[in-house]
Amino acid sequence: MAFKIENVEWEKDKHRLKALREHVFVLEWRVPETSEFDSEDSSASHVLIVSDNDEPIATGRLTQQGELGRIAVKRCHRTLDVYRALFAALIDAAIEKHVPMVKVVCNLESVSYHQSIGFKPDGQVFMDAGVPRQRLACPAERFPLPDVTQLH
């Protein structure tokens, strides 16, 4: 499948970003809408992947604090190629913005896996939309593809 990667701005493209994230998180995963959208969106760097017919299929963001998140991929497009392209674009944005350490938030079950591929815990376990989570960090230039099934 062919797709195109776009670096987009929240103010200009929030209608496409919100629709995709609502589809994946609010409708499919039942994440409360109040937990999905926050003040970080307006200052974050956003990546949007669109299909060859210009349909948004995946998105993610890089916050000013270096956190990669809001990884939303439509169910029928959850392939390694799409995830690799999405994370590569997010890491490129981090390097371009001189962010030395990037962070991900994952479910507790995947912490040991992420540590085995080079991530280190960053802070305490916390609750996110009723789910216990851990923030993990690693150098941007050595970022490995995380367990994408455990991220948000």
pLDDT of residue 90: 96
- Which tens digit of pLDDT belongs to each residue from 57-78? 999 999 999 999 999 999 999 9
pLDDT of residue 151: 60
In order, the DSSP letters of the chain are: --EEEEEE-HHHHHHHHHHHHIIIIIIIS---HHHH--TTTTTSEEEEEEETTS-EEEEEEE-TTSBEEEEEE-GGG--HHHHHHHHHHHHHHHHHTT--EEEEEEEGGGHHHHHHTT-EE-S--EEETTEEEEEEEEEGGGPPP--GGGB-
pLDDT above 60 (res 152): no
Contact status, residue 55 vs residue 104, Cβ threshold 8 Å: no
What average pLDDT does this structure show over 82-95?
A: 95
